[in-house]
Structure 1
Amino acid sequence: MKNKYTIKVIKELLNQENVSEELLEELTSDPRLGVKKLIAQYYKRIEQKAALIEKFHKKEFLEKPYWDHDLLVAGVDEVGRGPLAGPVVTAAVILPPNNTLYEVDDSKKLSISKRDELYKQICDQALDISVAVGSPQLIDQENIYHATELTMAQSIRRLYVKPAHILVDAMTIPVDIAQTKLIKGDAKSLSIGAASIIAKVSRDRLMTMYSHLYPEFGFENNDGYGTKQHLQALDEFGRTKIHRLSFSPVRKINKFY
């Protein structure tokens, strides 16, 4: 029937999870320009979702051999190797084979709101999650690379269940578990991508807490990286307890906050 539905009702119908072929056929024959636009938008969303799911399945190829044999595989990633202040944070995530984390990607490619949304989804769906924090003191003592390895090992040991295999982004973790080291693993592996999001959101929240202790440094915005505001505050107020003393230009600062 012509004009059976209003444009508003059609928009609501097409936003539902399942849209029947009969309804689509009926709406396709509707001559109104507004309806034609809504139908075009609907099919575009369907295409985008199909592409997203295809990309999602490609990211599972590293985990799938283990899942097919009922074995647990952990993805591990870090965030915070480059900043002048704050810890390095690592996360280990074990996902189930039937997860629906279609939008998980390298955390650096995602907006803050999308990371927060996916963080909740990962927490809801993961079999196990562990976060570990490598202090600035550990970084100064061991160097950032080794401190990151040690912190990754801590995140693995803190898991409630032991994985059969580890997928890790460009590092070697000092634990007695077989592992696959991947360059840009957070963009190639679903589990590493999930770990990168957990680590990033965890560290960002920690740096926001530190910003209340040291408001002059803008840690809630720069996450401890050497921005103009950060460097100016470092010169004016001196280094804080969360600064990495082995990092330039913190090394040359003799004043303490």
Structure 2
Amino acid sequence: MESIQIIREKLKSIVDREDPYVKNLLKDERKGVKKALLQWDKQLEKRMARQAHFEEMKIFETKAYEDGYTGVIGVDEVGRGPLAGPVVVAAVKLPWPLTVDVGLNDSKLLNAKDRVRIAEWVKENALAYAIVERDNRAIDQSNILAMTKEAMQEAILKVADANDFVLIDSVGLDIPYGQAHPDKGDQKSLSIAAASCLAKVYRDQLMMEFDKQYPVYDFCHNMGYGTKNHLEGLKKYGPSPIHRLSFAPVSHFSNRLKKEP
């Protein structure tokens, strides 16, 4: 009779509930075997759900290639909402067909470790990628949406070929390429998800560096968003050189005498 440990090890390689080995284990009355089967079944359910999601996230790219396009570019931005720092855009052209699931998803749904891992994978495996930013001064001189679109257009031009199709998260652009802009595209397209992770990791690293220069705003924890600690820093010291003066509540403090943090 096999030990529970051996059974657990064998189950790791089985991905079919109808597998003869699994059916035989169902006859085993040991509590340890029943527990091992239950855990295996839960893990299998998660793997099946992830595989289904992975296939769903190929739909936009697959259609573009079926329509005759020779490349697909995913575009996403990070940092439209914060009170400080730049807005960052990434454009990514993934190799296709993509058969390896590395965990691409909306960067907001991933932990920091996985975002960094995926961003490194994108840099190593993408056919092309570009990262473009617009700083707080440019945002204040124009507006955040205009600067985001401008950065997106610049990033696309850096990586696009004539017959490429562009997938943009929720934003339509005036560009000479076929395009689609699905809502929550970073959860629906592998290409947009890749851009989301690349932009998020790049911007987070920038904000960590800014935190060293302006530690009183707690940028290392809020990435420029208006958390309690950030707002307390604003009240006490006024805006820093990277704050968006056109954004409330930063604008409420922009006329105050600034102290050097």
Is TM-score (shorter-chain normalized) higher than 0.5? yes
Counterpart position of 1:43: 41
1:133-164, Cα deviation, whole Å (9 max, x unpaired): 11111111121000001111222123275661
Which residue identity lines up with residue 228 of structure 1 in the other structure?
K
Work out the CA distance in 1 between the residues paired with 2:126 and 2:162.
14
Work out the CA distance in 1 between the residues paired with 2:111 and 2:34.
31
Aligned 1:1-80 pairs, distance under 5 A: 2=1, 4=2, 6-16=3-13, 21=19, 23-25=21-23, 27-68=25-66, 69=68, 71-80=70-79
Give 5+ residue unaligned stretches, structure 2: none
1:86 aligns with 2:88: no
Q: Secondary structure at the match of 2:129?
A: strand
Which residue identity lines up with residue 30 of structure 2 in the other structure?
R
Work out the CA distance in 2 between the residues paired with 1:117 and 1:93.
16
Counterpart position of 2:195: 195
Work out the CA distance in 2 between the residues paired with 1:196 and 1:220.
19
Work out the CA distance in 2 between the residues paired with 1:240 and 1:140.
14
> CA separation of 1:218/1:8 partners in 2, compared to 1, >3 Å: closer, same or farther?
same
Work out the CA distance in 2 between the residues paired with 1:182 and 1:65.
14
Work out the CA distance in 2 between the residues paired with 1:32 and 1:60.
43
1:109 aligns with 2:129: no
Q: Secondary structure at the match of 2:103?
A: coil
> CA separation of 1:238/1:119 partners in 2, compared to 1, >3 Å: closer, same or farther?
same
Q: Secondary structure at the match of 1:62?
A: helix
Which residue identity lines up with residue 73 of structure 2 in the other structure?
A
Aligned residues: 254
> CA separation of 1:142/1:174 partners in 2, compared to 1, >3 Å: closer, same or farther?
farther
Q: CA deviation at 1:18?
A: 7.4
Counterpart position of 1:216: 216
Q: Which 4+ runs in 1 deviate beyond 6 A?
A: 17-20
Counterpart position of 1:133: 133
1:157-202, Cα deviation, whole Å (9 max, x unpaired): 2327566111111223343222212222222222112211221122
Work out the CA distance in 2 between the residues paired with 1:78 and 1:162.
23
Moved more, 175-184 or 132-141: 175-184
Work out the CA distance in 2 between the residues paired with 1:29 and 1:121.
44
Work out the CA distance in 2 between the residues paired with 1:155 and 1:145.
15
Which residue identity lines up with residue 257 of structure 2 in the other structure?
K
Q: Secondary structure at the match of 1:244?
A: coil
Work out the CA distance in 1 between the residues paired with 2:75 and 2:14.
33
> CA separation of 1:120/1:21 partners in 2, compared to 1, >3 Å: closer, same or farther?
farther
Q: Secondary structure at the match of 1:130?
A: strand
1:6-59, Cα deviation, whole Å (9 max, x unpaired): 333333333347799464455444432112211222232222212221222222
Work out the CA distance in 2 between the residues paired with 1:16 and 1:7.
15
1:195-235, Cα deviation, whole Å (9 max, x unpaired): 11221122112111111111111101111011111111112
What is the TM-score when the length of structure 2 is the normalising length?
Answer: 0.86
Contact 2:73 2:160 in 1 (8 A): no
